[in-house]
Amino acid sequence: MKKLLLSLVVVVIIFALGGVIYWQYKNNTEKSVQPSITIISPNGGEVLKEGSTYTIKWETKNIPAGNKISINIRRVAPPPLPSEGQEFDPIVFVNLENTGSKDWTVSDMYPEGNYILEINSYASIPITNPISDESDAVFQIIK
């Protein structure tokens, strides 16, 4: 009787451990195949001079081959926030190929200040369910 009970306990433990190992493997596998996009630069702390050319860089994982890339810019105003909206077009690029980088000449339409870039990967326009990332911190545009 003791041997039967011991055998039963060992079998239950083996099944429980197997279930935990399978669950962890499945979760890690699902996370590793999720599509993602990450801004490499500018990702915070950079100082860009108006008129200069800067390379925007990003990395993608598991993005469908036909997806396009768009890049938007947003000014981060210092407090107090302005009562009016932005004075420039927030779209920097749209319908780019997913090459991992794009040269950008910083236009004079951007006032001096702090900015964040957002990058999106999408299947088609209108953009729905984009895979997105934005700069981790602000970068500056100066005259």
The b/e string for 23-52 (b: 16+ C-beta within 10 A; e otherwise) is eeeeeeeeeeeeeebebebbbeeeebeeee
Which residue intervals of the chain are DSSP H helices?
A: 2-32
Domain 37-142 in CATH 2.60.40.10? The answer is yes
What is the bridge-based pairing of β-strands 139-142 and 47-49?
parallel
Cβ neighbors of 11 (< 8 A, separation 6 or more) are: none
Question: Degrees (nearest 5) of the Cα angle 91, 67, 98?
Answer: 70
Interval 94-135: pLDDT, tens: 999 999 999 999 999 999 999 999 999 999 988 889 999 999
Residue-level pLDDT at 32: 65
Domain ranges for the chain:
1-33, 37-142
pTM confidence score: 0.73
Q: Which residues of the chain have pLDDT under 70?
A: 5-12, 17, 19-20, 23, 25-32, 79-87
C-alpha 6/C-alpha 13 separation (Å) is 11
Name the residue with tokens 């935990």: 20
